[in-house]
Structure 1
């Protein structure tokens, strides 16, 4: 299977173009007012339309109510809904059934005990995202630039496709892929010059480094 590369927290046409031209497979748009990467529905609809089928679009929400999900789905018709809060398996299943959009469920990892939670999403979420747990009293559930011990997921097999996130940068993504064997990588703050300020050069470098690791491991080329 090819390595899936996701650039999350895109807010500008320039960052989107850099991600698409570099060959990213997924583009993430954040709908969480506390995040510096938050987009209004109008802005997200405009930016996401420029993807034009070159990648899959992902709408990131945190503990959303149905009304918010409905508004986002209507505004941009995402290919995926990323649930990055404390959504239970039952809630994830309900959202998936109600809106008919594949679910990427994120959960925080600090130690091996946290990985056990992945089993409860088997058959419920279409893909899992392993992210570092946010710091205590942190405002953001993700995008904090923190990494967890990648050796914890070296033999991770949750029974569903998964992706690695948290603390990834152009400098370490190759090591992360080789160490964990992850089928996908997700980056946000690791390709920024400041909170919410995407670096076009870092986006290109990240995708290139991920693809180099893919080639070195002999993974198939292609997109999700």
Structure 2
């Protein structure tokens, strides 16, 4: 089965077109002001209008309902990715409120982290496995860190899942081969600086994922 590709943290029309042209399956819009990749619902809507058939995933950290309402409508979101401390009950409530898939991103350091996430968030539509953020980090994801992908050789989630963290055009093929990821999610790995996407790196990432 072909691995799907999400290019996250898109903030400009040029980056969106690059993702589309390369054949990415999804684009991520970040609605978290501390992030250098953050955009507002109005700006997300202008980008979304350029790519009506591309899956738009909104990335949130402990959002309130008002932000979710504005972002889902304005950004024409097809999925919601929760990246904060949202528990199973909050995941279920958001899923019921909006009727679109909810992805739950979790930090991984050990095999037990994967097992616990699979157990606790079985009600999510997709589990996104990312490296745990360093102590005191401002951002819960998008830090360019990776966990040991070999952990997934011994046990993969018994639900839909994807892989994030430390992915780049140079590493994504190994990640797919080692982890067997059905979806890969990249942000900092295709940037020249935090929030500044490199269009050639986007194309190279998608191509490398497809070849793997």
> What are the ranges of 5 or more consecutive residues in structure 1 without an aligned counterpart?
214-224
Superposition deviation, residue 116 in structure 1: 2.1
Aligned to 1:38: 38
Segment of structure 1 superposing worse, 18-27 or 107-116? 107-116
- Partners of 1:11 and 1:165 lie apart in 2 by 19
Residue in 2 that maps onto 1:218: none
- Does structure 1 retain, via aligned residues, the 8 Å contact 2:2–2:210? no
2:127 aligned with 1:128, yes or no?
yes
Q: Partner residue of 2:11?
A: 11
Once residues 32 and 156 of structure 1 are traced to their aligned partners in structure 2, the CA distance between those partners, rounded to angstroms, is 32
Matches within 5 A, 1:31-70: 31-53=31-53, 55-70=54-69
**Alpha-carbon distance between aligned partners in 2 of 1:173 and 1:161, rounded to the nearest angstrom:** 19
State the SS of the aligned residue for 2:166: coil
Deviations 1:178-224 (A, max 9, x none): 011111100000000000000000000000000000xxxxxxxxxxx
Partner in structure 2 of residue 222 of structure 1: none
Runs of 4+ in 1 over 3 A off after TM superposition: none
User: Displacement, 1:94?
Assistant: 0.7
Q: Report the 3-state secondary structure (helix = DSSP H, G, I; strand = E; otherwise coil) of the residue aligned with 1:158.
A: coil
- Counterparts of residues 160-175 of structure 1 (less than 5 Å): 160-175=159-174
Unpaired runs of 5+ in structure 2?
none
Name the counterpart of 1:197. 196
Query: How far off is 1:2 after superposition?
Result: 2.1
Offset, 1:159: 2.3
Number of residue pairs the alignment of both structures matches: 211
Q: 1: CA distance between counterparts of 2:154 and 2:63?
A: 32
What is the DSSP-based 3-state SS (H/G/I as helix, E as strand, rest coil) of the residue aligned with 1:159?
coil
Distance in 2 separating the partners of 1:14 and 1:77? 19
Aligned residue for 1:150, secondary structure, equals coil
Which runs of structure 2 are paired with 1:69-84 in the superposition (5 Å)? Answer: 69-84=68-83
Aligned match of 1:108: 107
**For 1:18 and 1:91, how far apart are their aligned partners in 2?**
34
Q: Aligned partners of 1:52, 1:100: CA distance in 2, in Å?
A: 19
The farther-off stretch of 148-157 and 100-109 is 148-157
TM-superposition CA deviations, 1:72-106 (whole Å, max 9, x none): 11212201000011110111001100111111110
Residue 42 of structure 1 deviates from its aligned partner by 1.1
**For the Cα contact (< 8 Å) 1:155–1:180, is it kept in 2?**
no
**Contact in 1 for aligned 2:40/2:71 (Cα 8 Å):** no
- Kindly state the Cα deviation for residue 68 of structure 1 after the two structures are TM-superposed: 1.0
